[in-house]
Amino acid sequence: MKAASVIDYRELARARLPKFLFEYIDGGSYAEVTLRRNITDLEAVALRQRVLRDVSKIDLTTTLFGQNFSMPVALAPIGLAGMNARRGERQAVRAAEKAGIPFILSTVSACPLAEVAKAAAKPFWFQLYMIRDRGFMKDLLAEAAAIGCPTLVFTVDMPVPGSRYRDYRSGLAGAPGLMGSLRRMGQAILHPRWAWDVGICGRPHALGNVAPVLGKNTGLEDFFAWMRNNFEPNVGWHDIEWIRSQWKGSIVIKGILDRQDARLALEAGADGIVVSNHGGRQLDGTLSSARALPPIADEVGGRMTILADGGIRSGLDVVRMLALGANGVMLGRAWAYALAAGGEKAITHMLGLMRAEMNVAMALTGTTRIAEISKHHP
Protein backbone atom coordinates (compact mmCIF):
# COMPACT_ATOMS: atom_id res chain seq x y z
CA MET A 1 0.00 0.00 0.00
CA LYS A 2 1.24 3.46 -0.89
CA ALA A 3 0.61 5.76 2.05
CA ALA A 4 -1.52 8.81 1.36
CA SER A 5 -1.99 9.81 5.01
CA VAL A 6 -0.83 9.23 8.56
CA ILE A 7 -3.68 6.75 8.95
CA ASP A 8 -2.15 4.69 6.12
CA TYR A 9 1.22 4.79 7.85
CA ARG A 10 -0.45 3.51 11.02
CA GLU A 11 -1.64 0.39 9.18
CA LEU A 12 1.76 -0.12 7.58
CA ALA A 13 3.36 0.12 11.02
CA ARG A 14 0.88 -2.40 12.42
CA ALA A 15 1.82 -4.85 9.66
CA ARG A 16 5.57 -4.45 10.12
CA LEU A 17 6.07 -4.25 13.90
CA PRO A 18 5.87 -7.01 16.49
CA LYS A 19 2.66 -6.64 18.46
CA PHE A 20 4.35 -5.46 21.66
CA LEU A 21 5.96 -2.51 19.87
CA PHE A 22 2.91 -1.48 17.86
CA GLU A 23 0.71 -1.55 20.95
CA TYR A 24 3.28 0.57 22.81
CA ILE A 25 3.16 3.24 20.10
CA ASP A 26 -0.57 3.08 19.50
CA GLY A 27 -1.97 2.64 22.99
CA GLY A 28 -3.04 4.90 25.83
CA SER A 29 -3.76 4.50 29.51
CA TYR A 30 -6.65 2.66 31.13
CA ALA A 31 -9.76 2.67 28.86
CA GLU A 32 -8.09 5.13 26.43
CA VAL A 33 -10.85 7.74 26.75
CA THR A 34 -8.40 10.63 26.48
CA LEU A 35 -6.62 8.97 23.59
CA ARG A 36 -9.88 8.96 21.64
CA ARG A 37 -10.83 12.48 22.74
CA ASN A 38 -7.55 13.84 21.39
CA ILE A 39 -8.62 12.75 17.93
CA THR A 40 -12.38 13.37 18.01
CA ASP A 41 -12.20 16.79 19.70
CA LEU A 42 -9.62 17.98 17.19
CA GLU A 43 -11.67 16.64 14.28
CA ALA A 44 -14.65 18.61 15.60
CA VAL A 45 -12.83 21.97 15.35
CA ALA A 46 -14.51 24.02 12.60
CA LEU A 47 -12.48 26.48 10.57
CA ARG A 48 -13.80 29.59 8.81
CA GLN A 49 -13.78 29.01 5.07
CA ARG A 50 -13.05 32.25 3.18
CA VAL A 51 -13.24 32.82 -0.58
CA LEU A 52 -12.06 35.21 -3.30
CA ARG A 53 -8.75 35.93 -1.61
CA ASP A 54 -5.29 35.86 -3.14
CA VAL A 55 -3.77 32.62 -1.84
CA SER A 56 -1.28 32.13 -4.67
CA LYS A 57 1.64 32.33 -2.23
CA ILE A 58 1.43 30.41 1.05
CA ASP A 59 4.22 30.91 3.61
CA LEU A 60 4.53 28.17 6.26
CA THR A 61 7.75 29.46 7.82
CA THR A 62 7.88 30.34 11.50
CA THR A 63 10.27 31.14 14.34
CA LEU A 64 10.37 29.15 17.58
CA PHE A 65 12.74 30.05 20.41
CA GLY A 66 14.91 32.14 18.13
CA GLN A 67 15.26 29.48 15.42
CA ASN A 68 13.73 29.68 11.95
CA PHE A 69 11.84 26.65 10.65
CA SER A 70 10.09 25.77 7.41
CA MET A 71 6.78 25.05 9.14
CA PRO A 72 5.43 25.08 12.73
CA VAL A 73 5.84 21.34 13.24
CA ALA A 74 8.32 19.39 15.37
CA LEU A 75 9.01 15.68 15.83
CA ALA A 76 8.06 15.05 19.45
CA PRO A 77 10.17 12.99 21.86
CA ILE A 78 9.18 9.32 21.76
CA GLY A 79 10.57 6.66 24.07
CA LEU A 80 11.90 3.49 22.42
CA ALA A 81 11.55 5.13 18.98
CA GLY A 82 14.79 3.57 17.85
CA MET A 83 13.19 0.13 18.14
CA ASN A 84 10.75 0.92 15.31
CA ALA A 85 13.47 0.93 12.65
CA ARG A 86 17.21 0.39 12.66
CA ARG A 87 18.75 3.10 14.91
CA GLY A 88 15.49 4.96 14.47
CA GLU A 89 16.36 8.27 16.11
CA ARG A 90 19.27 8.72 13.71
CA GLN A 91 16.92 8.31 10.77
CA ALA A 92 14.36 10.65 12.30
CA VAL A 93 16.79 13.49 12.98
CA ARG A 94 17.96 13.38 9.36
CA ALA A 95 14.36 13.51 8.11
CA ALA A 96 13.61 16.47 10.39
CA GLU A 97 16.66 18.32 9.10
CA LYS A 98 15.64 17.75 5.50
CA ALA A 99 12.20 19.12 6.29
CA GLY A 100 13.63 22.11 8.15
CA ILE A 101 11.85 21.38 11.44
CA PRO A 102 12.97 20.55 15.01
CA PHE A 103 13.69 17.03 16.20
CA ILE A 104 13.38 16.35 19.93
CA LEU A 105 15.34 13.43 21.36
CA SER A 106 13.74 11.58 24.27
CA THR A 107 15.57 10.80 27.49
CA VAL A 108 14.56 7.18 26.93
CA SER A 109 15.58 6.93 23.28
CA ALA A 110 17.34 3.88 21.92
CA CYS A 111 20.16 5.95 20.44
CA PRO A 112 22.13 8.10 22.91
CA LEU A 113 22.77 11.80 22.54
CA ALA A 114 26.26 11.37 21.11
CA GLU A 115 25.14 8.90 18.43
CA VAL A 116 22.28 11.13 17.27
CA ALA A 117 24.61 14.14 17.23
CA LYS A 118 26.93 12.29 14.83
CA ALA A 119 23.99 11.68 12.48
CA ALA A 120 22.81 15.29 12.67
CA ALA A 121 24.19 18.25 10.75
CA LYS A 122 22.38 20.79 12.95
CA PRO A 123 21.55 21.04 16.67
CA PHE A 124 18.43 19.21 17.82
CA TRP A 125 16.32 19.65 20.95
CA PHE A 126 16.47 17.38 24.01
CA GLN A 127 13.68 16.15 26.29
CA LEU A 128 14.18 15.38 29.97
CA TYR A 129 12.11 13.91 32.82
CA MET A 130 12.51 14.79 36.49
CA ILE A 131 14.61 11.93 37.81
CA ARG A 132 15.50 11.20 41.44
CA ASP A 133 19.21 10.99 40.67
CA ARG A 134 20.05 14.68 40.24
CA GLY A 135 23.65 13.85 39.47
CA PHE A 136 22.52 11.78 36.49
CA MET A 137 20.23 14.61 35.35
CA LYS A 138 23.07 17.09 35.66
CA ASP A 139 25.32 14.90 33.52
CA LEU A 140 22.64 14.52 30.83
CA LEU A 141 22.03 18.26 30.72
CA ALA A 142 25.75 18.92 30.46
CA GLU A 143 26.08 16.43 27.60
CA ALA A 144 23.10 17.93 25.75
CA ALA A 145 24.56 21.42 26.15
CA ALA A 146 28.01 20.26 25.03
CA ILE A 147 26.69 18.92 21.72
CA GLY A 148 24.78 22.15 21.11
CA CYS A 149 21.14 21.36 21.92
CA PRO A 150 19.52 24.83 22.08
CA THR A 151 16.16 23.89 23.64
CA LEU A 152 15.23 21.66 26.56
CA VAL A 153 11.75 20.14 26.68
CA PHE A 154 11.11 19.31 30.33
CA THR A 155 8.27 16.80 30.74
CA VAL A 156 6.31 17.27 33.97
CA ASP A 157 3.20 15.10 33.55
CA MET A 158 4.89 11.83 34.47
CA PRO A 159 5.73 11.81 38.19
CA VAL A 160 4.59 8.19 37.96
CA PRO A 161 3.96 6.17 34.78
CA GLY A 162 0.36 5.72 33.70
CA SER A 163 -1.25 2.29 33.64
CA ARG A 164 -1.28 1.08 30.04
CA TYR A 165 -3.28 -2.10 29.67
CA ARG A 166 -2.12 -2.82 26.13
CA ASP A 167 1.52 -3.08 27.25
CA TYR A 168 0.60 -5.76 29.77
CA ARG A 169 -1.56 -7.66 27.32
CA SER A 170 1.18 -7.64 24.66
CA GLY A 171 3.96 -8.68 27.04
CA LEU A 172 5.97 -5.47 26.81
CA ALA A 173 5.40 -4.75 30.51
CA GLY A 174 4.70 -7.10 33.38
CA ALA A 175 6.40 -10.03 31.65
CA PRO A 176 9.83 -10.38 33.27
CA GLY A 177 12.37 -13.12 32.88
CA LEU A 178 12.79 -15.83 30.29
CA MET A 179 9.09 -16.34 29.59
CA GLY A 180 8.59 -12.65 28.82
CA SER A 181 11.59 -12.62 26.51
CA LEU A 182 10.35 -15.71 24.70
CA ARG A 183 6.91 -14.19 24.32
CA ARG A 184 8.32 -11.05 22.68
CA MET A 185 10.70 -13.12 20.58
CA GLY A 186 7.76 -15.16 19.29
CA GLN A 187 6.03 -11.97 18.18
CA ALA A 188 9.22 -10.77 16.50
CA ILE A 189 9.59 -14.00 14.51
CA LEU A 190 6.20 -13.33 12.95
CA HIS A 191 7.65 -10.09 11.53
CA PRO A 192 10.89 -11.22 9.86
CA ARG A 193 11.68 -7.87 8.17
CA TRP A 194 11.64 -6.12 11.52
CA ALA A 195 13.50 -8.98 13.18
CA TRP A 196 16.34 -8.64 10.68
CA ASP A 197 16.39 -4.85 10.35
CA VAL A 198 16.06 -4.02 14.05
CA GLY A 199 16.33 -7.23 16.02
CA ILE A 200 19.61 -8.30 14.39
CA CYS A 201 21.10 -5.30 12.56
CA GLY A 202 19.77 -2.61 14.91
CA ARG A 203 21.78 -3.61 17.95
CA PRO A 204 22.59 -2.58 20.64
CA HIS A 205 19.08 -2.47 22.07
CA ALA A 206 20.07 -0.70 25.28
CA LEU A 207 18.35 2.60 26.09
CA GLY A 208 21.31 4.75 25.23
CA ASN A 209 20.91 7.75 27.54
CA VAL A 210 20.04 5.71 30.62
CA ALA A 211 22.39 2.79 29.89
CA PRO A 212 24.98 4.10 32.37
CA VAL A 213 22.53 3.76 35.26
CA LEU A 214 20.94 0.54 34.01
CA GLY A 215 24.33 -1.13 33.83
CA LYS A 216 24.04 -4.74 32.76
CA ASN A 217 20.26 -4.69 33.26
CA THR A 218 19.25 -3.54 29.80
CA GLY A 219 16.21 -5.70 29.08
CA LEU A 220 12.79 -4.15 28.54
CA GLU A 221 11.61 -5.33 31.95
CA ASP A 222 14.64 -3.65 33.55
CA PHE A 223 13.86 -0.44 31.71
CA PHE A 224 10.26 -0.29 32.92
CA ALA A 225 11.34 -1.14 36.47
CA TRP A 226 13.86 1.70 36.32
CA MET A 227 11.15 4.10 35.16
CA ARG A 228 8.85 3.16 38.03
CA ASN A 229 11.63 3.47 40.60
CA ASN A 230 13.45 6.57 39.34
CA PHE A 231 10.85 9.06 38.09
CA GLU A 232 10.46 11.72 40.77
CA PRO A 233 6.97 12.08 42.33
CA ASN A 234 8.20 14.75 44.77
CA VAL A 235 8.55 17.50 42.20
CA GLY A 236 7.43 21.12 42.39
CA TRP A 237 7.71 24.45 40.63
CA HIS A 238 10.84 25.24 42.61
CA ASP A 239 12.59 22.48 40.66
CA ILE A 240 12.38 24.65 37.55
CA GLU A 241 14.89 26.93 39.27
CA TRP A 242 17.31 24.02 39.59
CA ILE A 243 16.82 23.12 35.92
CA ARG A 244 17.48 26.74 34.96
CA SER A 245 20.68 26.72 37.02
CA GLN A 246 21.91 23.79 34.93
CA TRP A 247 20.62 24.89 31.51
CA LYS A 248 21.32 28.14 29.71
CA GLY A 249 19.20 27.53 26.61
CA SER A 250 15.43 27.74 26.15
CA ILE A 251 13.24 25.74 28.55
CA VAL A 252 9.87 24.38 27.44
CA ILE A 253 7.60 22.72 30.00
CA LYS A 254 5.66 19.82 28.50
CA GLY A 255 2.45 18.44 29.96
CA ILE A 256 0.34 21.52 30.71
CA LEU A 257 -3.47 21.14 30.60
CA ASP A 258 -4.64 23.77 33.09
CA ARG A 259 -4.56 27.54 32.61
CA GLN A 260 -3.33 28.06 36.18
CA ASP A 261 -0.39 25.74 35.53
CA ALA A 262 0.32 27.66 32.34
CA ARG A 263 0.49 30.89 34.33
CA LEU A 264 2.77 29.24 36.93
CA ALA A 265 5.05 28.06 34.12
CA LEU A 266 5.26 31.64 32.88
CA GLU A 267 6.01 32.91 36.38
CA ALA A 268 8.67 30.21 36.80
CA GLY A 269 10.54 31.64 33.83
CA ALA A 270 9.79 29.01 31.21
CA ASP A 271 10.24 30.14 27.61
CA GLY A 272 7.37 27.98 26.41
CA ILE A 273 4.95 25.21 27.23
CA VAL A 274 3.51 22.19 25.48
CA VAL A 275 -0.22 21.71 25.95
CA SER A 276 -0.25 17.94 26.20
CA ASN A 277 -1.79 14.97 27.99
CA HIS A 278 1.11 12.72 26.99
CA GLY A 279 -0.84 11.36 24.04
CA GLY A 280 -3.54 9.98 26.33
CA ARG A 281 -0.95 7.80 28.04
CA GLN A 282 -1.13 9.22 31.58
CA LEU A 283 -4.36 10.43 33.27
CA ASP A 284 -7.25 8.89 31.38
CA GLY A 285 -10.47 10.88 31.18
CA THR A 286 -8.78 14.26 31.27
CA LEU A 287 -9.26 17.02 28.71
CA SER A 288 -8.06 16.56 25.18
CA SER A 289 -5.31 18.93 24.10
CA ALA A 290 -7.74 20.62 21.70
CA ARG A 291 -10.17 21.37 24.56
CA ALA A 292 -7.45 22.49 26.97
CA LEU A 293 -5.63 24.76 24.52
CA PRO A 294 -7.99 27.78 24.05
CA PRO A 295 -8.20 28.83 27.74
CA ILE A 296 -4.45 28.35 28.10
CA ALA A 297 -3.88 30.54 25.03
CA ASP A 298 -6.15 33.16 26.60
CA GLU A 299 -4.09 33.02 29.78
CA VAL A 300 -0.51 33.19 28.45
CA GLY A 301 -0.75 33.66 24.68
CA GLY A 302 1.55 36.39 23.44
CA ARG A 303 3.70 36.16 26.58
CA MET A 304 5.29 32.79 25.92
CA THR A 305 5.49 30.25 23.09
CA ILE A 306 2.70 27.67 23.14
CA LEU A 307 3.18 24.29 21.49
CA ALA A 308 0.59 21.52 21.48
CA ASP A 309 0.34 17.82 20.69
CA GLY A 310 -2.28 15.10 20.84
CA GLY A 311 -4.40 13.62 18.05
CA ILE A 312 -2.66 15.36 15.14
CA ARG A 313 -3.00 13.13 12.10
CA SER A 314 -2.89 15.60 9.19
CA GLY A 315 -1.80 19.03 8.08
CA LEU A 316 -5.43 20.07 8.55
CA ASP A 317 -5.09 19.09 12.22
CA VAL A 318 -1.96 21.24 12.45
CA VAL A 319 -3.93 24.23 11.20
CA ARG A 320 -6.72 23.44 13.66
CA MET A 321 -4.27 23.49 16.60
CA LEU A 322 -2.82 26.79 15.40
CA ALA A 323 -6.34 28.20 15.10
CA LEU A 324 -6.97 27.22 18.73
CA GLY A 325 -3.99 29.26 19.88
CA ALA A 326 -0.82 27.20 19.44
CA ASN A 327 2.33 28.70 17.93
CA GLY A 328 3.47 25.27 16.79
CA VAL A 329 2.68 21.58 17.14
CA MET A 330 4.53 18.39 17.98
CA LEU A 331 3.93 15.20 16.01
CA GLY A 332 4.26 12.03 18.05
CA ARG A 333 2.58 8.90 16.76
CA ALA A 334 2.55 10.30 13.22
CA TRP A 335 6.32 10.09 12.85
CA ALA A 336 6.57 6.88 14.86
CA TYR A 337 4.17 5.16 12.46
CA ALA A 338 6.11 6.46 9.45
CA LEU A 339 9.45 5.42 10.93
CA ALA A 340 8.16 1.91 11.54
CA ALA A 341 6.68 1.71 8.05
CA GLY A 342 9.67 2.89 6.06
CA GLY A 343 12.36 4.67 8.07
CA GLU A 344 13.76 8.07 7.12
CA LYS A 345 12.20 8.13 3.65
CA ALA A 346 8.74 7.48 5.05
CA ILE A 347 9.09 10.26 7.64
CA THR A 348 10.18 12.61 4.86
CA HIS A 349 7.15 11.59 2.80
CA MET A 350 4.79 11.95 5.76
CA LEU A 351 6.08 15.47 6.46
CA GLY A 352 5.60 16.30 2.78
CA LEU A 353 1.97 15.19 3.10
CA MET A 354 1.59 17.39 6.17
CA ARG A 355 3.04 20.36 4.31
CA ALA A 356 0.71 19.86 1.32
CA GLU A 357 -2.33 19.47 3.58
CA MET A 358 -1.42 22.64 5.47
CA ASN A 359 -1.15 24.52 2.19
CA VAL A 360 -4.64 23.40 1.16
CA ALA A 361 -6.18 24.18 4.55
CA MET A 362 -4.62 27.63 4.64
CA ALA A 363 -5.66 28.42 1.07
CA LEU A 364 -9.27 27.44 1.75
CA THR A 365 -9.39 29.62 4.87
CA GLY A 366 -7.94 32.54 2.95
CA THR A 367 -4.77 32.47 5.02
CA THR A 368 -1.28 32.98 3.61
CA ARG A 369 0.91 33.24 6.73
CA ILE A 370 1.12 31.22 9.95
CA ALA A 371 0.45 34.28 12.12
CA GLU A 372 -2.94 34.74 10.43
CA ILE A 373 -4.32 31.30 11.23
CA SER A 374 -5.64 32.16 14.69
CA LYS A 375 -8.15 34.49 13.04
CA HIS A 376 -9.89 31.65 11.26
CA HIS A 377 -11.49 29.70 14.08
CA PRO A 378 -15.18 30.55 14.71
Active-site residue list = 278
Q: Would you give per-residue pLDDT tens digits along the chain (378 residues)?
A: 899 999 999 999 999 999 999 999 999 999 999 999 999 999 999 999 999 999 999 999 999 999 999 999 999 999 989 999 999 999 999 999 999 999 999 998 999 999 999 999 999 999 998 888 888 899 999 999 999 999 999 999 988 888 899 988 888 876 666 677 788 888 878 898 998 999 899 888 777 787 776 665 555 665 666 677 777 777 889 889 999 999 999 999 999 999 999 999 999 999 999 999 999 999 999 999 999 999 999 999 999 999 999 999 999 999 999 999 999 999 999 999 999 999 999 999 999 999 999 999 999 999 999 999 986 666
Query: In Å, how far are 15, 174, 198 from 342, measured between CA atoms?
Result: 12, 30, 12
- The helix or strand, by DSSP H or E, that contains position 272, with its residue range, turns out to be strand 272-275
Is the CB of residue 102 less than 8 Å from the CB of residue 122?
Answer: no
Please tell me the distance from the alpha carbon of residue 230 to that of residue 137, in angstroms, as a whole number.
11
pTM confidence score: 0.95
Query: In Å, how far are 36, 245, 345, 377 from 42, measured between CA atoms?
Result: 10, 37, 28, 12
Is the CB of residue 279 less than 8 Å from the CB of residue 310?
Answer: yes
Helices 177-189, 19-26: axis angle to 10 degrees equals 90
Q: Where do runs of H (alpha helix) occur along the chain?
A: 6-16, 19-26, 33-43, 88-99, 113-119, 134-146, 165-170, 177-189, 192-194, 211-214, 220-230, 238-246, 259-267, 289-300, 315-323, 333-364
Given this model, what pLDDT does residue 216 score? Answer: 58
CA nearest neighbour of 148 among 238, 250, 76? 250
Please tell me the distance from the alpha carbon of residue 54 to that of residue 366, in angstroms, as a whole number.
7
Q: Which residues pair with 331 in a beta bridge?
A: 75
Q: Is the dihedral of CA 155, 291, 334, 302 positive or negative?
A: negative
Is the CB of residue 101 less than 8 Å from the CB of residue 75?
Answer: yes
CA nearest neighbour of 105 among 69, 138, 166, 151? 151
Q: Which residues pair with 155 in a beta bridge?
A: 129, 254
Across the chain, how many H-helices and E-strands are there?
16, 10
Number of Cβ within a 10 Å radius of residue 241 = 11
Please tell me the distance from the alpha carbon of residue 243 to that of residue 61, in angstroms, as a whole number.
30
Given this model, what pLDDT does residue 109 score? Answer: 92
Residue 224 is which amino acid?
F
